[in-house]
Amino acid sequence: MSDKGLSRRQYLTTVGGTAVTLSVAGCSGDGDSGDGGDSGTERPTITAGTAPGFPPFEMKEGGDLVGFDIDLLEAVVSETEYSFEGWEEFEFDSLIPALTNNNIDVIAAGMTINDDRDQTIDFSDPYYSSDQAIVVRSDGDFAPESLSDLADRPVGAQKGTTGEGVVQDELVGDEITENQYNAYDNYVLAIQDLQNGNVDAVVIDVPVANTFAANRPVEVAFVYETGEKFGFGVRTDDDARQEALNSGLSTVREDGTYEELTRKWFGE
């Protein structure tokens, strides 16, 4: 539809606000009074939640929610018996509560499958792999090569993420003090603070780091291998949606849609 490079760049240079909860009406009609060709039975529904500010997985462009997760989940759901009801936006650390409170049915937010989260929710099969990148300003003044090079430097990450987990587990108390860790509601704010000089490094998923680096004066200093895999989150008792998403995922992988979307959003 749109030039992804241009639109992503435009997004990255214009959007800096925090994500707020916002309902998107994606209503596919509630009155099934028998005008369609289908039987009159109501289809079960999926309302999805995400946390924009994580390009190219999810971001706002001119008020629209776009990205790889957005296209992928919608393509997957269209292969299932579920009717897609639309998106709701949250800060990342509010997504799991929104799911368990039934405000949404699926999380699609570049969310890493891990044991911690697995105790509260379930995940679909994995749909993308990532490590963590340590991002710095590209002026070359500070070029760390390992976590120990971050000693006594202010470091940023998004609240509730695995990037924050790396900071808390590997840096705080060892290399940096608790006060030197700056937690942000979203990664756009973290990267802005890096550009402003308020932090000297941001820990963030590699594909998102590469997108910021392509559009802003920041670069990946080094990669810290975590071997993460992203999955769609579902409620633990919701085997039906979990199975539907898994079968939809394998369909879009087989029919070329998945590859088309990775080309659209990640290039190549």
List interacting residues with ligand ARG (CB under 6 A): 51, 53-54, 57-58, 92, 109-112, 158, 161-162, 205, 228
Of 57 and 258, which CB lies nearer to ligand ARG in the complex structure? 57
Q: How far is the CB of 97 from ligand ARG (least distance, A)?
A: 15
Of 140 and 227, which CB lies nearer to ligand ARG in the complex structure? 227
Q: How far is the CB of 111 from ligand ARG (least distance, A)?
A: 4
Q: How far is the CB of 42 from ligand ARG (least distance, A)?
A: 31
Q: How far is the CB of 230 from ligand ARG (least distance, A)?
A: 6
Strand pairing category for 83-89 and 155-158: unpaired
Of 86 and 251, which CB lies nearer to ligand ARG in the complex structure? 86
Beta-carbon contacts of residue 219 (< 8 Å; ≥ 6 apart): 135, 136, 137, 138, 213
Of 94 and 180, which CB lies nearer to ligand ARG in the complex structure? 94
Q: How far is the CB of 44 from ligand ARG (least distance, A)?
A: 25
Secondary structure string (H, E, C) spanning the chain: CCCHHHHHHHHHHHCCCCCCCEECCCCCCCCCCCCCCCCCCCCCEEEEEECCCECCCEEEECCEEECHHHHHHHHHHHCCCCEEEEEEECCHHHHHHHHHCCCCCEECCCCECCHHHHCCEEECCCCEEEEEEEEEECCCCCCCCCHHHHCCCCEEEECCCHHHHHHHHHHECCCECHHHEEEECCHHHHHHHHHHCCCCEEEEEHHHHHHHHHHCCEEEEEEEEEEEEECCEEECCCHHHHHHHHHHHHHHHHCCHHHHHHHHHHCC
Asked if residue 188 lies in contact with residue 129, where contact means CB atoms within 8 angstroms, the answer is no
Beta-carbon contacts of residue 41 (< 8 Å; ≥ 6 apart): 32
Of 42 and 232, which CB lies nearer to ligand ARG in the complex structure? 232
Of 32 and 131, which CB lies nearer to ligand ARG in the complex structure? 131
Q: How far is the CB of 162 from ligand ARG (least distance, A)?
A: 4
Q: How far is the CB of 207 from ligand ARG (least distance, A)?
A: 10
Of 79 and 159, which CB lies nearer to ligand ARG in the complex structure? 159
